[in-house]
């Protein structure tokens, strides 16, 4: 393995001296107050974003103005997970259609609560089971809605339209708007809606898990939350912290550690930078080719329909995907997109499957490098479970994962922000097979299998939670379970020694032993640097084959 020492810096502020006295709360014990009045941190250890650098591109798009551009007002109805975005309707569907388009946008979908029944636990939910109490929360979450990455398909489509405009082209019917359309999106940054997603995610977790802060008060410490150095990642963590602790309280009540995200720098939050095989076509990059091949056949009828409404240029399958992505990106950035109405419900189901194929074979079980890339977070979770620093054998932050300052082992709440690919890599490394139940995803449209759903597992603001519980009625009493976007996952089929449980519970010690074995099974050096070939249509369990 390439031995590159990781870099890490962090952002924090001094704890406020104006703590509310215990007498302000009748009968409240001092230990219940947060933050501890005597706590302070060395701000030199946690420099701000401006000092850390490595922010990545930060072009800004125009301000959203849906009050002028949207055809209807975005009332906060039962689909509150997307407020204040306008609810778009598919081509050929009436306003009364029950089809929720935004849940077919793959990794560009806004997160929503997934029923535990979808994974075989109809009686489970994130609330702590009767007779149990929570002792620890481990949270891994994705940034909120963002603009497209630099030079992504939507920007390339816009350049194609601009070029055609100079030569002259005409539109009619559904495409009439395109003759005056201009590209209004920035790149990389969180959108206003994305910021709100993370603020509300922090607020939700404070509402659910705020009682765990008492442990920090007893220790006389404040938590360390982590993120990456890209601008959207820093803003993700800050907005989450603002929702969790309040504004401006978060500046005094949490240290936000910023892991440098850059080529050749080790970090569990960006392992692809030290895993060369991740970018090789016949190894970790097969999902891109598979999804492109699927799109080339799945949208033929739609492509022909749209081409009949334009002259002076022609659309290909890549343009269809670009316009579908513009539907997603413009909606989460500007509040509304005219592109959404170009496509039918079937188009959006194919769009979702396009992403399912891409991520299943690039960061899921069909990838030979997924488990290796997720191994860093797996090691860090287990280190926090066992209070033992991890032994470097992955992309984890070797320098700072052995520091109680930057990698504390005694927190009751952990919260790490990262990218969707890393969340999925981590879920694959954890071998949470309930998320991928069934045969490998079919590569053909007439055998479309949705045994894995990108929009359920890695949408904008997705979150993976491990709850450590004390349950006196169980033997042993210390239990653990895993939750993705509010869906409790069964683990008995992939975790030896775990019995079927209606709440997804299993012995904490048993799960830790299973995960330790999984760590030993994942060969980071071979998977990320080895010479092998793979193909689509195979479930590799996220690990590279050995000839």
Indicate the domain borders of the chain: 1-547
Q: What is the largest CA-CA distance in the chain?
A: 77
Q: What is the mean pLDDT of residues 191-200?
A: 96
254-288 pLDDT, tens digit each? 999 999 999 999 999 999 999 999 999 889 999 99
Predicted confidence (pLDDT) at residue 78 exceeds the cutoff of 60: no
pLDDT band at 487 (very low <50, low <70, confident <90, very high): very high
> Count of alpha carbons within 13 Å of 433, Cβ hemisphere only?
13
Task: Decide if pLDDT at 533 tops 80.
Answer: yes
Whole-angstrom distance, CA of residue 331 vs CA of residue 107:
14
Q: Is the pLDDT of residue 20 over 90?
A: no
Rg (CA), the chain: 24
Question: What pLDDT does residue 80 have?
Answer: 58
d(CA 189, CA 200): 18
Burial letters for 350-363: b for 16+ Cβ neighbours within 10 Å, e otherwise? bbbbbbbbbbbbbb
pTM of the full structure: 0.88
Q: Quick one: fold of 1-547?
A: Rossmann fold (3.40.50)
Query: What's the token pair of residue 13?
Result: 């502020």
Q: 288: exposed, middle or buried (C-beta count within 10 Å: 0-12, 13-18, 19+)? A: middle
Strands 478-484 and 170-171: unpaired
Q: Any idea which residue has 């055609």 for tokens?
A: 164
User: How large is the average pLDDT for residues 483-508?
Assistant: 97
392-440, pLDDT tens digit by residue?
889 998 788 888 999 999 999 999 999 999 999 999 999 999 999 889 9
């Amino acid at each position: 393995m390439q031995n590159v020492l990781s870099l890490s810096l962090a952002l924090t502020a001094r704890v406020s001296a104006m703590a509310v006295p215990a007498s302000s709360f009748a009968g409240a014990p001092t230990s219940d107050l947060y933050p501890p009045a005597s706590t302070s941190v060395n701000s030199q250890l946690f420099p701000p974003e401006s000092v850390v650098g490595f922010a990545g591109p930060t072009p800004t798009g125009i301000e959203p103005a849906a009050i002028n551009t949207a055809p209807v007002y975005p009332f906060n109805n039962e689909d509150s997970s997307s407020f204040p975005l306008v609810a778009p309707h598919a081509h050929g569907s009436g306003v009364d259609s029950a089809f929720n388009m935004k849940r077919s946008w793959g990794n560009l979908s806004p997160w929503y609560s997934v029923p535990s029944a979808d994974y075989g636990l109809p009686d489970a939910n994130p609330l702590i089971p009767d007779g149990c109490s929570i002792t620890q929360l481990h949270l891994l979450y994705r940034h909120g809605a963002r603009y497209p990455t630099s030079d992504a398909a939507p920007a390339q489509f816009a350049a194609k339209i601009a070029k055609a405009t100079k030569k002259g082209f005409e539109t009619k019917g559904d495409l009439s708007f395109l003759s005056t359309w201009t590209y209004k999106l920035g790149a990389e940054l969180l959108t206003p809606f994305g910021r709100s997603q993370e603020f509300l995610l922090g607020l939700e977790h404070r509402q659910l898990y705020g009682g765990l802060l008492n442990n920090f008060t007893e220790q006389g410490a404040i938590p360390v939350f982590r993120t990456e150095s890209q601008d959207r990642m820093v803003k993700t963590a800050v907005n989450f912290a603002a929702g969790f602790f309040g504004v401006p309280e978060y500046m005094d009540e949490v240290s936000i550690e910023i892991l440098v995200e850059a080529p050749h720098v080790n970090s569990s939050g960006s392992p692809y930078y030290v895993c060369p095989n991740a970018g090789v076509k016949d190894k970790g990059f097969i999902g891109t080719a598979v999804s492109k091949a699927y799109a080339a056949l799945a949208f033929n009828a739609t492509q022909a329909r749209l081409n009949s409404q334009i002259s002076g240029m022609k659309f290909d399958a890549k343009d269809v995907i670009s316009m579908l992505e513009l539907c997603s990106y413009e909606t989460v950035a500007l509040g509304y997109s005219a592109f959404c109405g170009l496509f039918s419900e079937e188009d959006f189901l194919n769009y979702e499957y396009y992403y399912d194929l891409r991520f299943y074979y690039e960061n899921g079980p069909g990838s030979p490098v997924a488990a290796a890339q997720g191994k860093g977070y797996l090691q860090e979770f287990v280190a926090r479970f066992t209070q033992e620093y991890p032994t470097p054998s992955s992309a984890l932050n070797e320098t700072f994962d052995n520091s109680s300052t930057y990698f504390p082992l005694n927190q009751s709440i952990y919260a790490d922000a990262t990218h969707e690919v890393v969340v999925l890599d981590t879920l694959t490394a954890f071998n949470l097979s309930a998320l991928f139940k069934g045969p490998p995803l079919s590569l053909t449209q007439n055998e479309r299998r949705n045994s894995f759903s990108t929009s359920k597992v890695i949408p904008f603001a997705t979150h993976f939670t491990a709850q450590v519980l004390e349950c006196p009625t169980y033997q042993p009493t210390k239990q653990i379970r895993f939750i993705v976007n509010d869906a409790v996952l069964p683990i008995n089929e992939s975790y030896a020694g775990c019995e079927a449980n209606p709440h997804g519970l299993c012995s904490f010690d048993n799960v830790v032993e299973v995960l330790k074995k999984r760590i030993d099974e994942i060969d980071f050096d071979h998977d990320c640097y080895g010479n092998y070939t793979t193909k689509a249509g195979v479930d590799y369990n996220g690990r590279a084959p050995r000839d």
